[in-house]
Amino acid sequence: MRTGNAIIGTAGGPTVVINQSVLGVIQQIERSMHIVHVFGARRGVEGIVREDYFDLMRQPRNMLDLVAQTPAAALGSTRIKPDQEYCQRVLEAFRRRDVRYFFYIGGNDSANTARIISRVAREAKYEMRTIHIPKTIDNDLLVSDHTPGYGSCAKFVGSAFIGDNLDNRSLPGVKINLLMGRNAGFITAASILARFREDDGPHLVYVPERTFDLEQFVTDVGNVYRRYGRCLVAVSEGIHDGQGTLWAEKVSVLRQEHLERDAFGNLQLGVGTGSLADFLAGTLRNRFKDISRVRADTLGYLQRSYPASVSVVDAWEARLCGQMAVSYSVDAEMDGSVALLRLPGSRYAVGTKLVDLKEVAPDHPPFTKVLPDKYISPEGNNVTNNYREYVRPLIAELPRIGWFEQIADMARFSVHE
């Protein structure tokens, strides 16, 4: 490949390991003969068209490893989804700076951006390599076995449910946790990492891959509560009704209608992220007057940003994807996306390959991956325990837990009887 400069950019919702991929790229470029200089675009494509760059070769040496361990996008991120015309401006910026290598770290939308830039450059006969590096907590990218960012998110969710299941055991009641994932149930499915004993929660898991029926939900919770005297539920934000309308949307519309009737001056009833979980809890409270404790939490942004329990496997794989992106950019004869593959065998091991951008950002649906049927219970209200085999290696360490054993024989305690 032609000698020139390189640009790295990051886009979409951050993860806790996205900076590992940035550092992987920097490290590998330092070993490369073809790349003169590497710059970081501030806030993805926005930084490129605005020519707002970090000089990644002049960063304090001792800072780089710290940046890699730091959550969120140190280069800043963007929600812009560039069209053909926007990508023309990106290409002009590349031309001005002799950029011959472009590494774009992101999810499905970023793969699509990379694909457009790749085409625009080819049509302009501008010699360059565009490589997409996978990143998303949603784990919904096509081709890859899993996506950097997901392992740490799954570890956070699994850990959160370990704690919450025990909390719910301490003070029994019904607890609902709402999790991220509009279209795919992978994040919600990770909640089952908290199940060790037969009666551990989550006892019910609702993913967007199945229709969410409110009546069935009430029945399910009632059944679990009668059996265990408590119930822990994992619900994806992407649950929808039989017509495909999001429940979050339905609740929001109801609230909005109320809001329009609002006559409280300054005081506005917000329609927010907590609404869906609160709605579900409210429904259960109305239906089960005998259950004294019904609580709901929406785990929120911590799922993608909590820094204190990153998966070392996820961190390592994110670094690897960055490194391999540079190797492919120099050695391979094509633009593409780095895919993570699980190697066959009894022990967990991964490899990478470079796949065509149109495999990750295709022209026709499916555009993203969803939770396979084999991991969803026939009733559609749970994720099966064999999902654990898929997700467990991505987590590295989970908190270990212990619990007292109930010992029936209390004879020695009857001192005076």
Active site residues: 138
Specify the residue, 131 or 194, whose C-beta has the smaller distance to its own copies: 194
Cβ at position 166, least distance to its own copies in Å? 3
Minimum distance between the CB of residue 179 and its own copies, rounded to whole angstroms?
12
Examine residue 393 and say whether the peptide bond preceding it is cis (omega within 30 degrees of 0): no
* Alpha helices, DSSP H, located in 97-141: 108-123
Q: How far apart are the first and last CA of the chain?
A: 89
- Rg (alpha carbons) of the chain, rounded to whole number: 24
CB of 270 to its own copies, least distance (A): 2
Q: Within 10 Å of residue 213's Cβ, how many Cβ atoms?
A: 16
Q: Are 165 and 232 in contact (CB under 8 A)?
A: yes
Question: Do 354 and 361 contact (CB within 8 A), yes or no?
Answer: no
Burial call 29-66: b when 16+ CB within 10 Å, e when fewer: beebebbebbbbbbbbbbbbbeeebbebeeeeeeeeee
Strands 53-55 and 35-41: antiparallel
Shortest distance in whole angstroms from residue 158 CB to its own copies: 9
| Smaller CB separation from its own copies, 215 or 290 | 215
Residue 301 or 372 having the CB closest to its own copies: 301
* 279/328 with CB nearer its own copies: 279
Smaller CB separation from its own copies, 13 or 134:
13
Rounded distance, CA 273 to CA 122, Å? 43
As measured in angstroms, the least distance from the Cβ of 20 to its own copies is: 12
